[in-house]
Structure 1
Amino acid sequence: MATTFATASTVVGIGSSSLSAPASRRNTTRLTSGFVKSPVTVRNPVRVARASGGRFTCFERDWLRRDLNVIGFGLIGWLAPSSIPAIDGKSLTGLFFESIGTELAHFPTPPALTSQFWLWLITWHLGLFITLTFGQIGFKGRTEEYF
């Protein structure tokens, strides 16, 4: 009988988890909720060093993660609002293409610095690139489950 009390016995209950858990897990509490997503696994570039021929790389091989859906939807997403006639009954796209036509009428001569062509060119392309940038962030953020 003395031998049975001398051996360590495991008691299932409140105290058993803290005694049997390793030191790294003792103080951590894992709470789960339907409102909070599960933690995202972080990609370590050191572990995927063999993927690029054995060399150590800080970035993934396909860091741009180009997707033709983003380009297509981004272009449509910019053409739709820029084609609304909001500037004296004309649209930004219409004014830009019209200025291209007037500048091509005297083709060998470049556009003057005071030409409206430069304003429409910069405004139209700035809007396009902002739309594409936010489209890339939103589309890739959704597919890679950042949000």
Structure 2
Amino acid sequence: MKVVAIAAVASNGVIGSGSGMLWHLPEDWRRFKQVTMGHTLVLGRRTFEEIGALPGRPAIVCTRDADWHRDGVRVAHDVAGALEMAREAGEEICFVAGGAQIYAAALDLCDELDITEVHQSPDGSARFPAIDPERWRETTREPRAGFDFVRYERIDR
């Protein structure tokens, strides 16, 4: 199974501030929907509660809260367990979709990164892990007004 982290990341690495969306990029949301449709999303509990269930994309929510549950949502207590659930379900591609703690835990398990590089530097405490050029190679870049769609593949395996 291919594991892909997908995120919108500001120039300063910020992905969130804890108070909702930092930018409004309709083209990014359309692309996110197109790329992830039909595939499982691995999300942290707070991210899931912020965006909710997304039609056509089964969710596996990672939480340390043993009592947390939602109808129709699988629960794992760590990223490795979530990815194993997706693998056992026969997924060919699984997307890791945030938040910061989930990305940090998943980065070493990912095969590709699908990053929307947002040309802003907002304040925020949630950050995407640094993309080390010794481990990741940029394979495509699609410039847009105010952001770029960038894909990376792992090169250290």
Pick the TM interval, shorter chain: under 0.3
Higher RCO (CA-CA < 8 Å; seq separation 6+): 2
Q: Indicate the structure (1 or 2) with the bigger Cα radius of gyration.
A: 1
TM-score, with structure 1 as normaliser: 0.24
Counting helix residues as a fraction of each chain, which structure ranks higher?
Answer: 1
TM-score, with structure 2 as normaliser: 0.23
